[in-house]
Amino acid sequence: MLTEPTVYVIDDEPAICEILNDILEAANIKVKTYTSPREFMLSYSPENPGCLLLDIGMPELNGLELMEALIAKGNRTPVIFLTGSATIANAVDMLKAGAIDFIEKPPQVDLLLNCVRKALELDSQRRCEQQEFSSINERLKLLTAREREVLTWITEGKSNKKIASILDISSRTVEIHRANILNKMQTHSVAELVKMDLTAREYLNTRGH
């Protein structure tokens, strides 16, 4: 696994790959180039941080098809499209498909670097969110079915007495469940518990679940 953020350039024109490689390396940005989407797919792991610069018009597998294949596998690595002649309609289609931006070839250096840096920042943010969600999710898995029910009502702001009434159990039982939930979620604060629940929900919503 590569830990240093890397820009993956996939373009069937070797000259374009070379130009982009030189621009990015000059800006001290790690870069790997591929002239074949299939070659890229064989060596790439979504665990590697970075972003993708995809040529939209490759004959073997165009950039849009490659991005859709990656998304279908749950890959959220930011994509910037490279295009020789983008129309407004093309641009809208690319962005709707999930790209974060597009750049016309030959690329303007400042524009390219700005786009790439934003994409790398976005990727870092997404990976932090993923790590936070994974940590919360592992703790949520420790809860029993009843504790999950109690947690749902706690995050709705219900009192122990109200939860007891809703679930037809004693207030003392609710107190025990609440204590177990706080212990398993590794927090002493109901406010933090609510924040964790909201974080998990928001993350799942952004993933389309």
Class of CATH domain 6-129 = alpha beta
**% pLDDT > 70, the chain:** 94
Q: What is the pLDDT of residue 18?
A: 95
pLDDT of 209 reads: 42
- What does the CA dihedral 26, 32, 35, 36 come to, rounded to 10 degrees? -160
Q: Going along the chain, which residue ranges are E strands?
A: 6-10, 30-34, 50-55, 79-83, 101-104
Q: What is the mean pLDDT of residues 54-82?
A: 86
Opening angle at CA 39, ends 104 and 123, nearest 5? 55
CATH topology for the 142-206 domain: Arc Repressor Mutant, subunit A (1.10.10)
> pTM of this prediction?
0.76
Task: Please report how the helices 160-167 and 171-184 are oriented relative to each other, as an axis angle in degrees rounded to 10.
Answer: 110
Higher pLDDT: 92 or 76? It is 76
Q: Domain limits of the chain? A: 6-129, 142-206
